[in-house]
């Protein structure tokens, strides 16, 4: 699971960098090419969640809210919460709440 999540995070970071570059040269945030980058990543996220047999909601949250660890947030269950800052933390919360 870890290796597949690492590849997914690399894709997230590459896409984010690509979108930033497109915006810096004058593309509108709603430009079709930028929307397609986001849509493709969202499809990748759904496919990965299915392949790993995990909820896509954790992956969506990790990518969009936590920005893959750049903005760590607390998660867990009623018994245990912790800051989710690394892929290992993400795996922990996925397994804890499965």
Domain span at residue 57 reads 2-96
Q: In total, how many domains does the chain have?
A: 1
Average pLDDT over residues 59-80: 95
Residue 98 confidence class, pLDDT cut points 50, 70, 90: confident
Average pLDDT over residues 52-81: 95
* Residue 62: exposure state from Cβ atoms within 10 A (0-12, 13-18, ≥19): buried
**Among candidate residues 79, 78, 43, the one with its CA nearest the CA of residue 59:** 43
What is residue 25's predicted lDDT score, i.e. its pLDDT? 98
In this predicted structure, the answer to whether residue 14 has a pLDDT above a threshold of 90 is yes
Q: What's the predicted TM-score (pTM) here?
A: 0.91
- pLDDT tens digits, residue range 27-59? 999 999 999 999 999 999 999 999 999 999 999
Q: Is 32 helix (H, G, I), strand (E, B) or coil?
A: helix
């Amino acid at each position: 699971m870890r290796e597949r999540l690492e590849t997914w995070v690399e894709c997230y970071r590459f896409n984010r960098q690509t979108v930033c570059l497109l915006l810096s040269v004058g593309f509108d945030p709603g430009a079709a090419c930028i929307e397609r980058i986001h849509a493709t990543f969202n499809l990748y996220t759904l496919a990965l969640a299915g392949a790993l047999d995990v909820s896509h909601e954790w992956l969506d949250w990790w990518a969009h809210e936590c920005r893959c660890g750049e903005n760590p947030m607390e998660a867990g269950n009623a018994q245990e919460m912790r800051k989710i800052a690394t892929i290992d933390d993400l795996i922990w919360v996925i397994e804890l709440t499965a």
